[in-house]
Each structure stands twice: as structure tokens, then as C-alpha cells.
Amino acid sequence: SYVLTQPPSVSVAPGKTARITCGGNKIGSKSVHWYRQKPGQAPVLVIYYDTDRPSGIPERFSGSNSGNTATLTISRVEAGDEADYYCQVWDSNSDHYVFGIGTKVTVL
């Protein structure tokens, strides 16, 4: 089964840039989605198809995907960005989705 690797935690100061990585074998050939989940809430899609933002998601959120690493970048981090972030891809070999373990973003 396809495995996605995320760092358990990332810390960032307000106003700085947070980068959350998602590693997987040739992940650059797959479509990566990213979700934000705040405590007690359902997840929210923040990036789909590697780089696209759903309506309502600020431009501060961006994505990239190449080789064996996809990255979610949050620019000008705000206190409200503190949450768990999950990457997700479709494993076409076994016809199912896979989530990463999630990265807890802490705003210092």
C-alpha cells in the first residue's frame, strides 16, 4: 500500500512562512490534496490537484508537487492557521485513497 510521510509537527512564528512536506514514492506523478483540521471540527480542503485552491481559501495557502515530495506552504502565518494538516493521494495501484499521518502546525 502507498505510504505518505509527514513531519509530526511544524512550528512557525506569526507572519513567517510554514512549509509542510508530504513524501511518497514518485508522488510528483500523483494528484495531492491538503486538508486543514482544527480541534473539534471537520476537515477542510485547502489545496487540491497539487496547487489549486477551493473558493474561500486565502491566497496565502499554496501547494507544489515534484519528485518524491509535495509541499503545502502557508505564507504570512496567522494564529488562526494553527491546526492539523493532512495530505492525501489516490493510490491507483490499489484503487483507494491514502492520508498522511498529519502535521500539527503550531504558531509561536
Q: Which residues bind other proteins (CB under 8 A)?
A: 1, 31, 33, 35, 37, 42-45, 48-49, 54, 84, 86, 88, 90, 92, 94-102
Nearer to other proteins, 33 or 76 (CB): 33
Radius of gyration (Cα) for the chain, nearest Å? Answer: 13
Q: Least distance in Å: CB of 81 to other proteins?
A: 18
Q: Least distance in Å: CB of 30 to other proteins?
A: 9
Handedness of CA 28, 71, 47, 37 (dihedral sign): positive
How far apart are the C-alpha atoms of 65 and 69, rounded to whole Å? 6
Nearer to other proteins, 17 or 105 (CB): 105
Nearer to other proteins, 35 or 61 (CB): 35
Q: Least distance in Å: CB of 14 to other proteins?
A: 26
Q: How far apart are the first and last CA of the chain?
A: 36
Q: Least distance in Å: CB of 91 to other proteins?
A: 9
Residues whose CB falls within 8 Å of the CB of residue 86, separated by 6 or more in sequence, listed in order? 6, 34, 35, 37, 43, 99, 100, 101, 102, 103
Nearer to other proteins, 69 or 98 (CB): 98
